[in-house]
Amino acid sequence: MAKTGKTPYLEPMTVLTVHLATPRGFCAGVDRAIQIVERALELYGAPVYVRHEIVHNKHVVDRLKAMGAVFVKELDQCPPDRPVVFSAHGVPKSVPAEAQSRQMFYLDATCPLVSKVHVEAERHFIEGSEILLIGHAGHPEVIGTMGQLPDGAVTLIETVADAQNYVARDPENVAFVTQTTLSVDDTADIVAALRARFPSIKLPHKEDICYATTNRQDAVKAVAADCGLMLIIGSAKSSNSQRLVEVALKAGTPAAYLVDDASHVDWTWFEGVTSVGVSAGASAPENLISDLIAAISARYETEVIESSGVRETVTFKLPRVLTDA
């Protein structure tokens, strides 16, 4: 097999099976957040300011920039007379408080399932419980959740070791919540460690890891063992996308990579591979998946098999100020 650069030239009869995981790509929370920015631009004109990336995907952010969205790190970079949107990951309470003090018009695009975690954490705080948050340090969702309560009210638990080493002031009055985009299996191990140490620990009324994260991980598990290679489309900043790579490897695929889009694929990964799995994180647009399939098909004779996973029908309403206008 001769090669030019990184693109392999294959024998005419070489067939590559592509297992397309279902569901994949956009979830309802991401779709809602993007629509909020689009609708704000339509109603109020450009520029509309967005605090942090609305979702963790460069292609989404660049498209919204082209429409007139301006992405900033903090509110002091926004003029007080233009709309500002808070990202889908959620924000500390100090952010809307600052916006109100400056009399800014703001739209909160926090995913409703993240808001549910915020409400749970506040309920535990009111009840006087010690609150543990299972999540990843520095992630915007974790910053937002911890920022719902006074400093020191929430302790971050990242690993099983953290759970085993945590010393409670009152072992009978501990509660936990979780980041919504974690590995289901890894989180189960941490929860098991916490329950072993604190049998009366208060659990979420309903699983905090969101339906979309769970469904996408299950879909990857369903195809990974049949694939010599797994490609996940998503940003390195995206927690749920990173977890899909980890899930694929644990489920038995020998190699798995996270790529922003088809242009980031190293075609040497395909050498000796007869089947490849494809999925995408919850903030990756469907067109990136189609482009990847097209790029594979341009180099291989392909058979695309779409898995029969969960068909998602969840939708979240836009803020009323946008729908009533």
- Tens of pLDDT, residue by residue over 249-269, are 999 999 999 999 999 999 999
Same domain, 174 and 236: no
- What pLDDT digit, counting tens, does each position of 30-82 carry? 999 999 999 999 999 999 999 999 999 999 999 999 999 999 999 999 999 99
Same domain, 245 and 262: yes
Same domain, 61 and 45: yes
Total domain count, the chain: 3
Q: Please check whether residue 6 lies inside any domain of the structure.
A: no
Q: Please check whether residue 172 lies inside any domain of the structure.
A: yes
Same domain, 247 and 293: yes
pLDDT of residue 325: 77
Q: Please check whether residue 69 lies inside any domain of the structure.
A: yes
> What domain range includes position 293?
13-26+211-306
Same domain, 66 and 89: yes
Q: Please check whether residue 96 lies inside any domain of the structure.
A: yes
User: Full-prediction pTM beyond 0.85?
Assistant: yes
Q: Tell me which of 141, 286, 303, 306 is the catalytic residue.
A: 141
Same domain, 166 and 176: yes
Instruction: Output the domain CATH number for residue 82.
Output: 3.40.50.11270
Same domain, 296 and 238: yes
Q: Give the chain as a 3 state SS string.
A: CCEECCEECCCCCCEEEEEECCCCCCCHHHHHHHHHHHHHHHHHCCCEEEECCCCCCHHHHHHHHHHCEEEECCHHHCCCCCCEEECCCCCCCHHHHHHHHCCCCEEECCCHHHHHHHHHHHHHHHCCCEEEEECCCCCHHHHHHHCCCCCCCEEEECCHHHHHHCCCCCCCCEEEEECCCCCHHHHHHHHHHHHHHCCCCECCCCCCCCHHHHHHHHHHHHHHCCCCEEEEECCCCCHHHHHHHHHHHHCCCCCEEEECCHHHCCHHHHCCCCEEEEEECCCCCHHHHHHHHHHHHHHCEEEEEECCCCCCCCCCCCCHHHHCC
141 is catalytic: yes
Same domain, 107 and 121: no
Please give the Cα distance from 105 to 260 (Å, whole number): 33
Same domain, 147 and 166: yes
Same domain, 298 and 232: yes
pLDDT of residue 64: 98
**Which residues of the chain fall below pLDDT 70?**
1-14
pLDDT of residue 55: 97
